[in-house]
Structure 1
């Protein structure tokens, strides 16, 4: 790094067909600043547009002296307060957001975190959160936006919005968490702030698997390579169908799956070749 240069808040490792993104602010437990969010969104959009990238992994830089760490959530000091909402008069912003919800439009006035995490969730490229050590509050909301979650044996996952801020999470934890682990368990996490260890995270469905801390990233890359070996078009199609299933009746979801299956079959019949590597190319 050149003398006097500011280190990047996000490290990017490209190993086609994988890209690993590492939150790199270990001195503040990888708390997410506006700069980090900007770099994360830029990296995600680049990965989504790159046909060689089949899977994105997201992890955190270890804290001193080498202890595992994912993210302590939003950097409140760097964000200017407990919410990284657009600048402006708070009450006016809140009223506009409430009006958008009532009218079923927007959210035009969404937080920076919602914008980035929502994009991550909607990407056709699958994502894996590689989680060890502290993962709390906004860190939890980040991993909930990923498709899969692998945890190391030192993982401690929690939500401290209510415990520390007397607030509720606004970047997806109150919505995505109950969908993943059930309403009762989600309420317990939100209302107590009790950290969930690695074994419990797997048991309740918050994580897909647990691995020794020293092996976690490589085991995650093994899984990513297994996914990358599949048809990325079919993977993206199944991601879209499964993602929509929570909002659809069973028959509607089945028809949606049939539509994607028909698109794949038509592509093969029309060209005699497999579908393009990404729905972006269809």
Structure 2
């Protein structure tokens, strides 16, 4: 992360935000455990609509400060105080579902780094992202809520099942199983496994590739087709795809892409007009 690009933030902020070209980097700021506190979720919920509306933001990366853990999940001390209040619990978990859905549906590619503990919410947030990169060594990835006498609460069971299939989801959730990076790659939970000391560097490299090499309008149109289309009939998904085609044909980036192809050069996609 470039210090020059880091926004003015307190060292007590639940996350730090920096920007490198079209890539916005959000780094959880509670090392070494990087808990996702109520304050973290409040500030993240406020930030996401701004990222969605800002056309200069073309990709997002979630990582964490330090090199120990991505996130050990929710701050359980904050949760215990609400344990007997059903209305408060519902509001708290509703917010988390809203936030993760907003990440998934930003219309911009979102990347997460997984290293150290990635447990509970520390896995559920990355599963709402579109790309996941895991450290080769030391990862403990899982949804261990069964050990706490409860079940995943941030959409973990639904997303995990869709990503890795029912067999692996049952194995991980019912056994509160923690897996490492190579195993996560084997079952299709992560896109890449990277040497620990290169993980954040590789994530930034991928983020910059997505932010600078591809047409943002076309990307924002096709992402809902892929994300929502998996829960639709093929006919409905094809209709969404057709709408995306019509919304992108004739745009400035479509014209640039076609001219670059004819002129045998690399296209330059700079706006969404």
The verdict on a shared fold, with TM-score over 0.5 as the criterion, is yes
Question: Residue 75 of structure 2 corresponds to which residue in structure 1?
Answer: 75
Deviation at 1:215, TM superposition (A): 0.6
**2: CA distance, partners of 1:140 / 1:42:** 21
Match of 2:108 among 125, 134, 152: 125
**2: CA distance, partners of 1:10 / 1:155:** 21
Deviation at 1:43, TM superposition (A): 3.0
Question: Residue 243 of structure 2 corresponds to which residue in structure 1?
Answer: 259
Q: Number of residue pairs matched?
A: 251
Instruction: Render the CA deviation track for 1:65-97: whole Å, top value 9, x for unaligned.
Output: xx43100111021244477xxxx952x679xx8
Question: Residue 158 of structure 1 corresponds to which residue in structure 2?
Answer: 142
Deviation at 1:205, TM superposition (A): 0.5
Alpha-carbon distance change, 175 to 248 in structure 1, aligned in 2, over 3 angstroms: same
Deviation at 1:226, TM superposition (A): 1.6
**Cα pair 2:93 2:154 within 8 Å, conserved:** no
Pair 1:20 & 2:25 matched: yes
Q: How does 1:184-263 map to 2 (within 5 A)?
A: 184-228=167-211, 229-263=213-247
Deviation at 1:116, TM superposition (A): 1.2
Q: How does 1:50-61 map to 2 (within 5 A)?
A: 50-61=54-65
Question: Residue 9 of structure 1 corresponds to which residue in structure 2?
Answer: 14
Structure 2 length as normaliser, TM-score?
0.83
**2: CA distance, partners of 1:217 / 1:240:** 27
**Cα pair 2:144 2:178 within 8 Å, conserved:** no
Structure 1 length as normaliser, TM-score?
0.81
RMSD: 2.6
1:56 counterpart SS class: strand
1:188 counterpart SS class: helix
Deviation at 1:24, TM superposition (A): 0.9
Pair 1:38 & 2:22 matched: no
**2: CA distance, partners of 1:52 / 1:74:** 31
2:44 counterpart SS class: helix
**2: CA distance, partners of 1:251 / 1:168:** 35
Could you list the runs of 5+ residues in structure 1 that have no partner in the other structure?
Answer: 98-107
**Cα pair 2:21 2:208 within 8 Å, conserved:** no
Misfit runs of 4+, over 4 Å: 80-83, 271-276
**1: CA distance, partners of 2:167 / 2:251:** 44
**2: CA distance, partners of 1:235 / 1:174:** 27
**1: CA distance, partners of 2:191 / 2:81:** 33
Question: Residue 101 of structure 1 corresponds to which residue in structure 2?
Answer: none
Question: Residue 7 of structure 2 corresponds to which residue in structure 1?
Answer: none
**2: CA distance, partners of 1:134 / 1:110:** 21
Instruction: Render the CA deviation track for 1:185-206: whole Å, top value 9, x for unaligned.
Output: 0011101112111111111110
Alpha-carbon distance change, 159 to 81 in structure 1, aligned in 2, over 3 angstroms: farther
**Cα pair 1:131 1:150 within 8 Å, conserved:** yes
1:22 counterpart SS class: strand
